[in-house]
Structure 1
Amino acid sequence: MTEQYNQWLTQDPDPRTREELQRLIAEQQTEELADRFRSRLEFGTAGLRGKVGAGPNRMNRLVIQQTATGLGYYLQSQFSDAKQRGVVIGYDGRPDSKQFAHDTASVLTAQGIKVYLTHDVAATPIVAFGVRHFNAAAAVVVTASHNPPEYNGFKVYWDNGAQIIPPHDSGIASQIDVAANEDLNLLPLDQAEQQGHLVWLEGDYYQTYRATMNSNALLQNNTDPSSIGVAYTAMHGVGARMAETLLADAGFTQVYSVKEQREPDGTFPTVNFPNPEEAGAMDMVIALAKQHGAQLACANDPDADRFAVAVQKPDGEYQMLTGDQVGCLFGHYLLTQTDASKQLIGNTIVSSSLLNKIANAHGAEYYQTLTGFKWLTNVAMQKQSDDSQFLFAYEEALGYTVGNKVWDKDGLSALVAFSQLAAELYSQGKTIWDQLEALYRQHGMYINAQRSIALAPNSPPVGDKLRADPPKAIAGRNVEVIEDFKVQQRLMADGTTQTIDLPASDVLIYHLAGGARVVVRPSGTEPKLKCYYEVVEGFAADESFAEAQDKAQLAMDMLIAEHQHMI
């Protein structure tokens, strides 16, 4: 191992991480060193993401430079005009993000690849937007999104504007392995600019994104926007300036921003975990909403690709909507704004099946994909046609894309669209809760939940166990259909099978009597199950919203308890 350490110290361009590694060696922290050098940080469909620190299994300048070198090699193998088309690069507000982005630009321009580099921090959707805008070969966003402060990441978009999917992930990874064993070439940015390889994306580029959003036909509902209040937080991320600007452009005058969380700060001093889904993360924006009597308390995550909202209840308190509730509200709303029969909407296999019902009710085409926004947008591009144009997609983890101006989740346009949705309802004397109730009364009371189940460390592979002894019933509900995405087969109750037309993935879905569903994703690296639950209960005409919700929640609690007891 000493040879590996010395080789790393020789190559590492960052004095901070060199010093860090030397300290670990001097202190003989063998376990920590072993973890950092046991492998390279794995490049996958989400690019790279990991803790910042010295060593190949961490995020640092050397890993970034090697990764960028491999990406450049791969792009040139895939596009004969990769150098001319170039790569868009942007970054979030984490401490190392700007340096990592500049290193990426130095590597790519050294290969003769044109680079469009943001002059300042940028929301992820603003960078993704640039791929199609410039007809670039790819884009890179240096961001760890909503991960804790010690993380950073390197997210790659392909020339279609969507996140990479196979085979490009493995193709880039193989070229990174080549680069890791070569001397690296970098071009100083001032020289890259002089040679015409580097274009700085100044304020006018950000304004182009703004103008494009403002011209989006799906963001043109200006029904009394000044009548509702919107509290907002950027959660110490990069979304505030554009979010506030877009809301003002759309006519919202009662917008209140959490000043303590407005500016980018990668240490996230006021939240334990910069993820709107985490307990406590929305406390400050909800307090601000309560102070001003605003109907909505909204948040973007730190790179502004996700959107979260808590809604004022009749008693004046606020309740978070789930990602599925927001997604289904969006689906219904957007279909009513368009000729629904010509629209395509979708979500993932772990998201609520209510969206399918809503699409059917409006006569729209519905599609479903594996988990991950990369699938939602890539599949949408394949499926859309002149008769069925892509309208909307979402995943339950607070990701939404409204229209096709950005082929990835966009928390900024989602913020505007949801505010417009709310303003229209409130102008009619209705609330978000009234609209949810109407959807549930029409289609059934849907509740979705997610849980992780830890298993004993010495457990056999849990996926094998589940496939060897499939359950006949869960929580007293018969299993009517089993979908096994690993073998891409759907086993029907009568013993017949159907082919699942989705890529293979280690996922099992149990469809139960009464419309309930259990989705199981075994972990490939640890004895753990990620489980997604859905129950659908009737909504009687004489039942109140609260009564129907309580009944469905009781069924959900029973389903979760019984299923976890079975494992």
Structure 2
Amino acid sequence: KRKKWLGLIHSTLFQCVNAFFKMNVDLCWICFNPKTASMVQELVKEKAVEALKKCFASRMEFGTAGLRAAMGPGISCMNDLTIIQTTQGFCCYLEQSFGNLKERGVVIGYDARAHPPSGGSSKRFASLAAAVFISRGVPVHLFSDITPTPFVPFTVSHLGLCAGIMVTASHNPKQDNGYKVYWENGAQIVSPHDKGISKAIEENLEPWPESWNTEEALKSPLLKDPYQDVHTQYFKAIQKHCHHREINKSSQVKIVHTSVHGVGHTFVQSAFKAFDLHPPYAVEEQKDPDPEFPTVKYPNPEEGEGVLTLSFALADKEGASVVLANDPDADRLAIAEKQESGQWRVFSGNELGALLGWWIFHCWRQQNPDTAAVKNLYMLSSTVSSKILRAIALKEGFHFEETLTGFKWMGNRARDLLDQGKTVVFAFEEAIGYMCCSAVLDKDGVSAAAIAGEMVSYLATKNISLSQQLTTIYEEYGYHISKNSYFICHDQDVIRSLFDRLRNYGGQKDSYPTECGRFSISAVRDLTTGYDSNQTDKKAVLPTSRSSQMITFTFSNGGVATMRTSGTEPKIKYYTELCAAPGNSDVTHLKKELDDLVDAIVENFFEPVKNKLQPKPE
């Protein structure tokens, strides 16, 4: 039995070594980090064959979201070696793309994540990335301390740099980390840059001699610290979106803020100061960065009440009526409000999109009374988000555009519009991401927090709560009731079979369902294959990608449902919304109709593989 085990382990390790040599990488590079090497030795000692395969069998894929994976040993994890390899590839791709890379340079930021068992941390990874660029004579603006993710795209635009890197895994579990990339336009990369960078990584796997030398890099004259300048300029930029300073100064509204053990505390305090808002009460147990995230199961405020328990307790103690919460890298924002019943209402991302969209248009209109100016105004949202902005745009006369899921699409589209002389004032996605200020072409939870604080203060002077204002918005522009959730699935074959069944429904090839329970389907758009039944030529207008699954069904009752896979998590997500015309205020009926639709989707579309899926954790 022992010989059998040893043989299996030796065979597995031999395959691993072979894989490394095939990719022109010497296995000894792992040993540069003794903690990572120790983890591998421990796995071998424990005969953990499956764990070894998971670490070494396949390389992380670099996509438009960059990288995101667990910290640990091997080419499938985030570690010193894979960070160096990724940065070498990125650097070479930038050298090919920009003739003046050595004049313009790049910016690198990082959050507070750390993984002591493997010796990995965001700061360590950022230093290694800086060493790679400096070894090629490229100036690097490396933040000297943790920053929110929005600071990186802001710096790219502010300093006119070629690119930016943010080392963060956002709201992922504590063992994860990530490598997020921005292009010279200040937006996240989109295709074909991802493919070009991925190819360059494969061509530059062997570490360059100076790539490990962080000590020398940190002494280099090519290294600059943009922290103070960017801190000053960022808050100057968002101050332009403060419209009610006198109200802010006199406001008696009490607000609680939590950064959920991330980087947001200091920066949201500064944002409130920039708006002359009274500083929010900070949740003491969560205000300082802590990579262990000790008070929450998931460091994701999108999960709702479970993450906000301590915030509610502090708000009740201080008599605060509103809670603001950032995710750990402070690019997203959640909001909750205490109701007259004493219960707390956590607003969905779509509801906050309606509130912030209304507020930003309200402020813009006050500043621009000329009715003709609205023709130059734009708002954006992702295709899986609420269509409330479309309804507001139709009535108010501005432009609304829908993009693919993710701020990489909205950021790049915003840049295109801005370059055409258009005014882009707002963009949002249902996953509590908001771009309230075009100085940052990405979601920004810091500026959104300050703008939300001003909105709350303004409404308080009218004795109006956020919930009441949301109802007013829906009554004027039509109720938009949404219900979103997901299933967890780690098996790609199961995911593939689910979507293949929808594309060959009833056993008929290239045939989509025409009904779901009692609900009739009026249109189908498949952004994986490029099919759209609403178009004359049946070809989708939005970009398509076969690397991800995404199908949208439109129902005869005004409902819309999208099923898609996540790019960063093992999830099959579904998004549903029922849009009613203005004047239809039977909310109870609308909610019941949407509940029935969701039940029908789960029963008819998910049922064949449901026993292989895990439901969203409560």
TM-score class normalised by the smaller sequence: over 0.9
Note if contact 2:165-2:179 (Cα within 8 Å) is conserved in structure 1: yes
Note if contact 1:110-1:187 (Cα within 8 Å) is conserved in structure 2: no
The 3 A distance-change label for structure 1 pair 39 and 314 is: same
1:161 aligned onto 2:186: yes
Question: Which residue of 2 is the match for residue 56 of structure 1?
Answer: 75
1:16 aligned onto 2:16: no
1:224 aligned onto 2:244: no
Q: Give the Å deviation of 1:35.
A: 0.7
The 3 A distance-change label for structure 1 pair 476 and 387 is: farther
Q: d(CA) in 1 for partners of 2:472 and 2:421?
A: 29
1:471 aligned onto 2:513: yes
Q: SS of the residue aligned with 2:47?
A: coil
Letter in 1 for 2:318: H
Letter in 1 for 2:68: R
Letter in 2 for 1:14: N
Note if contact 1:475-1:558 (Cα within 8 Å) is conserved in structure 2: no
Q: SS of the residue aligned with 1:166?
A: coil
Note if contact 1:119-1:202 (Cα within 8 Å) is conserved in structure 2: yes
Q: Deviations over 1:319-338 (max 9, x none)?
A: 10000010111111111222
Q: Give the Å deviation of 1:210.
A: 2.0
Question: Which residue of 1 is the match for residue 415 of structure 2?
Answer: 381
Match of 1:359 among 387, 393, 399: 393
Match of 2:331 among 305, 318, 339: 305
Q: Give the Å deviation of 1:452.
A: 2.8
Q: SS of the residue aligned with 2:295?
A: coil
The 3 A distance-change label for structure 1 pair 98 and 195 is: closer
Q: Give the Å deviation of 1:482.
A: 1.6
Note if contact 1:447-1:553 (Cα within 8 Å) is conserved in structure 2: yes
Question: Which residue of 2 is the match for residue 514 of structure 1?
Answer: 557
Question: Which residue of 2 is the match for residue 150 of structure 1?
Answer: 175
Q: d(CA) in 1 for partners of 2:246 and 2:312?
A: 24
**Which has the larger displacement, 301-310 or 123-132?**
123-132
Match of 1:133 among 149, 158, 169: 158
Letter in 1 for 2:562: V
Q: Give the Å deviation of 1:308.
A: 0.5
Q: d(CA) in 2 for partners of 1:82 and 1:475?
A: 57
Q: d(CA) in 2 for partners of 1:249 and 1:528?
A: 39
The 3 A distance-change label for structure 1 pair 205 and 383 is: closer
Question: Which residue of 1 is the match for residue 260 of structure 2?
Answer: 235
Q: d(CA) in 2 for partners of 1:140 and 1:550?
A: 47
Note if contact 2:482-2:575 (Cα within 8 Å) is conserved in structure 1: yes
Q: Report how many aligned residue pairs link the two structures.
A: 558
Q: Give the Å deviation of 1:539.
A: 7.0
Q: Give the Å deviation of 1:386.
A: 5.5
Q: Deviations over 1:41-81 (max 9, x none)?
A: 11111111111111111111111111111111111010001
Note if contact 1:84-1:114 (Cα within 8 Å) is conserved in structure 2: yes
Note if contact 2:564-2:573 (Cα within 8 Å) is conserved in structure 1: yes
Question: Which residue of 2 is the match for residue 406 of structure 1?
Answer: 440
Note if contact 2:71-2:77 (Cα within 8 Å) is conserved in structure 1: yes
Letter in 1 for 2:439: K
Q: Deviations over 1:90-118 (max 9, x none)?
A: 11011211111101101110011110000
Q: d(CA) in 1 for partners of 2:487 and 2:94?
A: 40
Q: Give the Å deviation of 1:130.
A: 0.6
Q: Give the Å deviation of 1:458.
A: 6.1
Q: d(CA) in 2 for partners of 1:538 and 1:78?
A: 49
Note if contact 1:228-1:254 (Cα within 8 Å) is conserved in structure 2: no
1:462 aligned onto 2:498: yes
1:123 aligned onto 2:148: yes
Question: Which residue of 2 is the match for residue 200 of structure 1?
Answer: 225
Q: Give the Å deviation of 1:208.
A: 2.3
Q: Give the Å deviation of 1:293.
A: 2.0
Question: Which residue of 2 is the match for residue 2 of structure 1?
Answer: 13
The 3 A distance-change label for structure 1 pair 13 and 99 is: same
Note if contact 1:145-1:301 (Cα within 8 Å) is conserved in structure 2: yes
Note if contact 1:461-1:527 (Cα within 8 Å) is conserved in structure 2: no
Q: Deviations over 1:507-550 (max 9, x none)?
A: 22111112111112257999974221111346768x6xxxx443
Q: Deviations over 1:289-325 (max 9, x none)?
A: 2222222100110000000000121223211000001
Q: Give the Å deviation of 1:500.
A: 2.8
Q: SS of the residue aligned with 1:259?
A: coil
1:482 aligned onto 2:550: no
Letter in 2 for 1:290: D
Note if contact 1:290-1:316 (Cα within 8 Å) is conserved in structure 2: no
Note if contact 1:123-1:304 (Cα within 8 Å) is conserved in structure 2: yes
The 3 A distance-change label for structure 1 pair 509 and 149 is: same
Q: Give the Å deviation of 1:175.
A: 1.0
Matches within 5 A, 1:160-309: 160-181=185-206, 183-186=208-211, 188-189=213-214, 191-192=216-217, 195-214=220-239, 216=240, 218-222=241-245, 224-225=247-248, 226-253=251-278, 255-279=280-304, 280-309=306-335
Question: Which residue of 2 is the match for residue 71 of structure 1?
Answer: 90
1:552 aligned onto 2:586: no
1:98 aligned onto 2:98: no
Note if contact 1:223-1:420 (Cα within 8 Å) is conserved in structure 2: no
Q: How much is the aligned-residue C-alpha RMSD, in angstroms? A: 2.4
The 3 A distance-change label for structure 1 pair 478 and 184 is: farther
Q: d(CA) in 1 for partners of 2:106 and 2:603?
A: 50
Q: Give the Å deviation of 1:196.
A: 2.4
Note if contact 2:60-2:67 (Cα within 8 Å) is conserved in structure 1: yes
Q: Name stretches of at least 5 consecutive residues in structure 2 with no aligned partner.
A: 1-11, 21-25, 115-120, 369-373, 506-511, 606-618
Question: Which residue of 2 is the match for residue 36 of structure 1?
Answer: 55
Q: Name stretches of at least 5 consecutive residues in structure 1 with no aligned partner.
A: none
Letter in 1 for 2:589: K
The 3 A distance-change label for structure 1 pair 345 and 459 is: closer
Letter in 1 for 2:331: D
Note if contact 2:109-2:147 (Cα within 8 Å) is conserved in structure 1: yes
Note if contact 1:327-1:394 (Cα within 8 Å) is conserved in structure 2: yes
Note if contact 1:335-1:343 (Cα within 8 Å) is conserved in structure 2: no
Letter in 2 for 1:221: H
Q: Deviations over 1:211-251 (max 9, x none)?
A: 2222x2x2333252222111000110011111012112312
The 3 A distance-change label for structure 1 pair 2 and 479 is: closer
Q: SS of the residue aligned with 1:113?
A: coil
1:500 aligned onto 2:540: yes
Tell me the TM-score normalised to structure 1 length: 0.93
Note if contact 1:210-1:242 (Cα within 8 Å) is conserved in structure 2: no
Q: d(CA) in 2 for partners of 1:549 and 1:237?
A: 37
Note if contact 1:162-1:377 (Cα within 8 Å) is conserved in structure 2: yes
The 3 A distance-change label for structure 1 pair 222 and 315 is: farther
Q: Deviations over 1:373-420 (max 9, x none)?
A: 100110122234666311110000010011211111100000011111
Letter in 2 for 1:480: S
Q: Deviations over 1:424-479 (max 9, x none)?
A: 11111211111111111123322112233578966863323212222222342321
Q: Deviations over 1:246-270 (max 9, x none)?
A: 1123122252110111111111011
Note if contact 1:234-1:304 (Cα within 8 Å) is conserved in structure 2: yes
Letter in 2 for 1:235: V
